[in-house]
Amino acid sequence: MRLATLRGRRDGILLVVSHDLCHAVKATGIADTMLEAIEAWPDVAPRLQSRYDELNDGHVADVFAFDPADCAAPLPRSPQWCDGSAFLNHGRLMERAFNTPPIPEFDTVPVMYQGASDDFLGPTEDVPLPDEHDGIDFEGEFGVVVDAVPMGVSAQDAIKHVRLVVQINDWSLRGFGPREMKSGFGFLQAKPSTSFAPVALTPDELGDEWRDGRVHLRLHVEWNGQWFGHPSGAEMNFGFGELIAHAARTRRLSAGTIIGSGTVSNVERAAGSACIAERRVIEIVDEGQARTAFMRFGDRVTMTARDEDGAMPFGTIDQRVVRAAHAANGEGQR
């Protein structure tokens, strides 16, 4: 089934969305919010599926046109957001970018940081940031939403806890990255609020494009209307089962926890990139210096995962970067 969240309350209003993303209906009487649905998944999932089937068959009342502009992130906030770096090609390029030593056991142990999960952005919301000089960058990813995961779960069992698949733009401020990485405490200021495509899918909606704990779709990225990349999610070196198991190695994961893949990245250069930093590193390697600047206020980025027939199951992230209101008064400037 396909689900979304209508803006209106702090945690939004749960919607069931038609397969073609043209129509929606509220999940009234089943679950008020996405988080409520995830927390009670065994009970509510069959009823949500029935409403989804009725919607697609044209047999449900109170249907309205689905508009992504009215949507919050599928989970406007969640108990936890953990982001991996499962595409080793990207990780190795970033080591060059930040001039950091190789990460121990990088090929065998997933890398992951815990980000802020209290203020996710919807698919068409402006992205307010304090300063262009902070190195504003987008990062296209895929992610999963899990139900309650026990501590010490195996990767084989962990994948069974995936309830929804999502598409993500994990914004970064590259100017803060090197210092925070070298501190040994990880990202904080380098990671502003994360954005999500409007629609969250149950894995079955992806058919054969969900296998081995990976999303086998290309993520098409445009910056100010120009092609930037279309890397495939199939090249994850660690699947989502392994990422979930890594996050749950020493603690339980609450229902509604989101696990990200990290920036989608392919070895093939023709696939382009899903973030500016990666393109800049490639330019340094190939040409001796970076030519591509980071984003400016007013710039727009769009991200859409597409199948071979051009269908866009998650909808589109389409956002503009703007100056944060407090920054206009001179606050927050470096």
Instruction: For tokens 């970064």, name the residue.
Output: 172
Looking at the fold, whether 270 and 154 belong to one and the same domain comes out as yes
CA distances from 256 to 73, 95, 307 (A): 13, 31, 26
Residue that terminates a domain, selected from 14, 40, 70: 70
Looking at the fold, whether 63 and 95 belong to one and the same domain comes out as no
Q: Is residue 104 part of a domain?
A: yes
Looking at the fold, whether 16 and 153 belong to one and the same domain comes out as no
Structural domain that includes position 218: 81-329
Number of domains in the chain: 2
Residue that terminates a domain, selected from 44, 70, 96: 70
Q: Is residue 32 part of a domain?
A: yes
Q: Is residue 334 part of a domain?
A: no
Per residue of the chain (334 residues), what is the pLDDT tens digit?
999 999 989 999 999 999 999 999 999 999 999 999 999 999 999 999 999 999 999 999 999 999 999 999 999 999 999 999 999 987 788 777 666 677 777 888 999 999 999 999 999 999 999 999 999 999 999 999 999 999 999 999 999 999 999 999 999 999 887 787 777 777 888 899 999 999 999 999 999 999 999 999 999 999 999 999 999 999 999 999 999 999 999 999 999 999 999 999 999 999 999 999 999 999 988 888 999 999 999 999 999 999 989 999 999 999 999 999 876 544 433 3
Looking at the fold, whether 185 and 43 belong to one and the same domain comes out as no
Looking at the fold, whether 225 and 248 belong to one and the same domain comes out as yes
Residue that terminates a domain, selected from 16, 37, 70: 70
Q: Is residue 276 part of a domain?
A: yes
pLDDT at 314: 98
pLDDT at 98: 63
Give the span between the Cα atoms of 63 and 44, in whole angstroms.
20
β-strand partners of 160: none
β-strand partners of 23: 65
Beta carbons within 10 angstroms of residue 122's beta carbon? 23
Looking at the fold, whether 47 and 95 belong to one and the same domain comes out as no
Instruction: Give kind and range of the element (H or E) at residue 42.
Output: helix 41-57
Q: Is residue 75 part of a domain?
A: no
Looking at the fold, whether 199 and 99 belong to one and the same domain comes out as yes
Looking at the fold, whether 61 and 113 belong to one and the same domain comes out as no
pLDDT at 17: 98
Q: Is residue 76 part of a domain?
A: no
For 32, residues 6+ apart whose C-beta sits below 8 A from its C-beta are 13, 14
Q: What is the pLDDT of residues 106-159, one digit of tens each?
A: 888 999 999 999 999 999 999 999 999 999 999 999 999 999 999 999 999 999
Looking at the fold, whether 154 and 33 belong to one and the same domain comes out as no
CATH number at residue 324: 3.90.850.10
Looking at the fold, whether 181 and 41 belong to one and the same domain comes out as no
CA distances from 107 to 91, 95, 156, 277, 313 (A): 10, 14, 19, 21, 31
* Model pTM score: 0.94
